[in-house]
């Protein structure tokens, strides 16, 4: 149970670092994305992809290890420190004002209440499945072995006797190897299982924000993501 909680907390921290990196890149190129929810979704996914590119460079250089990854994380935190401080202050405010937090949550569920609750229940119920043992042959045969090989050797090794390593794109494995190495996750449940599922939430945010200005009926706005999930 403690391991599960640690892996979950580590996945949240990883996604926050992805968001900080992506948000920093958006600021760097002066791209303004509103509202905040849309920026949050785009920034997190952008940061995830950017970390994948960084992981590729580290693995090709043979320095894909915890020290290098922690150094990258530290650079992201330093670069985004003003934003981190503002968000920490906002977080303390919400913790110190439960009534205000309740009002904000209540406002989120106004309109299309049933569909919103159904969406939350669907995500929560399926999240439990993330912690079950891996049984898929593709994950056991090459996804997990490639991640483990990267984590163990600190570099890409196309000579490794792993199915598909030589000819399959491994950016996904590189991305999931980052938190595996950074948080020393060497046993199930693996952190990439949780991160992979949490990615669905960010993709839903992007999908939702794409539909928001294009659908006049709020019912359809929440029915569409449920249709995709189904």
Which residues, 6+ apart, have CB-to-CB distance to 186 below 8 Å?
151, 180
Secondary element (H or E) of residue 11? helix 2-28
Q: What is the mean pLDDT of the chain?
A: 88
pLDDT of residue 219: 63
Closest CA relative to residue 4, chosen from 179, 125, 131: 131
pLDDT band at 224 (very low <50, low <70, confident <90, very high): low
User: Above 70 in pLDDT, residue 221?
Assistant: no
Secondary element (H or E) of residue 107? helix 98-108
Domain ranges of the chain: 2-229
Alpha-carbon distance of 55 to 168, in angstroms, equals 16
Encode pLDDT of 108-131 as tens digits: 777 767 677 777 777 787 788 888
Encode pLDDT of 161-195 as tens digits: 887 787 778 899 999 999 999 999 988 889 999 99
pLDDT of residue 50: 97
Q: What is the mean pLDDT of residues 200-204?
A: 89
**C-beta neighbour count of 204 within 10 angstroms:** 18
């Amino acid at each position: 149970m403690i391991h599960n909680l640690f892996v979950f907390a580590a996945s949240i921290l990883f996604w926050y670092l992805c968001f900080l990196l992506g948000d920093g890149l958006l600021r760097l190129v002066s791209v303004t994305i509103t509202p905040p929810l849309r920026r949050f979704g785009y920034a997190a996914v952008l940061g995830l992809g950017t970390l994948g590119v960084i992981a590729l460079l580290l693995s090709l250089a043979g320095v894909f290890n915890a020290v290098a990854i922690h150094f990258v994380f530290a650079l992201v935190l330093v670069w985004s420190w003003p934003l981190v401080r503002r968000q920490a202050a906002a977080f303390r405010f919400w913790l110190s004002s439960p009534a205000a937090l309740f009002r904000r949550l209540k406002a989120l569920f106004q309109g299309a209440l049933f569909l919103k609750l159904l969406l939350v229940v669907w995500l929560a119920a399926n999240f439990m499945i993330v912690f079950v043992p891996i049984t898929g042959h593709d994950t056991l045969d090459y996804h997990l072995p490639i991640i483990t090989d990267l984590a163990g050797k600190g570099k890409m090794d196309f000579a490794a006797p792993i199915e598909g390593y030589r000819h399959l794109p491994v950016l996904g494995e590189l991305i999931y190897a980052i938190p595996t190495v950074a948080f020393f996750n060497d046993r199930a449940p693996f952190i990439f299982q949780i991160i992979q599922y949490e990615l669905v939430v960010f993709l839903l945010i992007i999908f939702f924000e794409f539909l928001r200005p294009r659908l006049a009926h709020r019912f359809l706005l929440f029915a569409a993501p449920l249709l995709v999930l189904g």
